[in-house]
Amino acid sequence: MRLTTEGDPVPAAGESLVEVTSIGLCGSDLHWFTEGGIGDAVVSRPLVLGHEMAGVIRGGERDGVRVAIDPAIPCMHCEPCLAGDPNLCLNIVFAGHGGCDGGLRQLMAWPSHRLHPIPDTVSDDEGALLEPLGVALHAYDRAHPRLGTTVAVIGCGPIGLMLVQLAGLAGATRVFATDPLPHRMAAAIGHGAEPLDGGEADLVFEVSGSDGAVATALRAAKPGARVILVGIPDGDRTTFPASIARRKGLTLVLSRRMGEVYPRAIELAARKRVDLTSLVSAAFPLDRIEAAMTTAAAREGLKVVVHP
C-alpha cells in the first residue's frame, strides 16, 4: 500500500463530486491486499481499494447532502440486469475492483444515481456499513426465509453478525452461531445468538470462506435445508464433504454482492432495527492505511474503518 497525492477529480456528466467521510475495510479488500487479487481478477495496475463508502456531495444541486455510495454500477441493459439481477451484470463496474478505483481517497467522482441520501440519524460509519448490510440482506433474501424457522450463522465477522440480527428481525425462532474467535462469538451472543454446539437449522449461512466453515455449515443443516455460501474462499476454491450434502439433500446457494437493497438497508439503520455502531472496532486516518489493513487482516476486532 502507498499513499499518493493526485489532482481533484472532475465529475463527468451525470456524476457528482463526493468528499469521502468513512470507508469500511472488507474481506475482499484483504484478498487484494494479501493475495493481489480475487479469484481470476488480479491487480494489473495501481488500484485504489475501498467499496464500503459514505460521504458528502460537494457542489451542484445536492451540495452538502450526506450519502451512502453504492459501489456497483450495473449497465442495466444485459440479460441479468433486465431479469432483475444487477449484481450479476455482465458489464458491471465496481469500486475498488479491476480497473475502477475505489473510495480510499478524500474525493471521488461517482454517478449521481448511485448516491443514496442518508438521514442525520445515520452516522458516517453507519453509512459506510450500509454496503455490507446490503450484502447480508441480499444473502438473507436468497435463503427464502419463512417465519418460525431456525437459522445458523457460520462465521461471525461483521456480515455474519448482521445476519444474526436479520434472522431475529425476520422471525427466526432460534439463531445459532459459531466462530473460532472468542470476541466475535461473544458479539454474536450479545446480538441474541446461541452457541451452535451440535444444533441443526433450516437455513445456514456460511460467512467465512474457509473449507472448514463450509463443512461446519453442512453439518449444521437439517435434512432438506438451504445453505447459503457468502464467504469468499482463499485461492478461489471451495471443497466440501459431498456425502453429507447428498445424504441430507441440501440446497447450496451462492450469494454475490447485492441487488438494489440500499433503500431497505438505510431504513433499517435509520430506525435502529440493526446495530451497526457496535461493529466498528477501530478507526484510522488515511495516512495510516497500512496499519488499518494490517489490523483488519489480523481480525483482532470486528470492522475497521478509515476516515479520509
Cell of 285: 486516518
**Could you give the CA distance from residue 86 to residue 296 in angstroms, rounded to a whole number?**
29
Please give the pLDDT value at position 99. Answer: 84
Please give the pLDDT value at position 232. Answer: 86
Residue with cell 457460520: 154
3-state secondary structure of 81: helix
Phi (first) and psi of residue 107, to 5 degrees: -135, 145
pTM as predicted: 0.94
Please give the pLDDT value at position 191. Answer: 96
Domains and CATH numbers, the chain: 15-129+276-307 (3.90.180.10), 134-254 (3.40.50.720)
> For the chain, which ranges sit under pLDDT 50?
none
Q: What is the pLDDT of residues 187-209, one digit of tens each?
A: 999 999 999 998 899 999 999 98
Please give the pLDDT value at position 216. Answer: 96
Angle at the Cα of 226 from the Cα atoms of 232 and 73, rounded to 5 degrees: 45
Nearest one of 54, 44, 38 to 103, comparing CA atoms: 54
CB 253 within 8 A of CB 141: no
Please give the pLDDT value at position 42. Answer: 81
Cell of 139: 444473502
CB 48 within 8 A of CB 96: yes
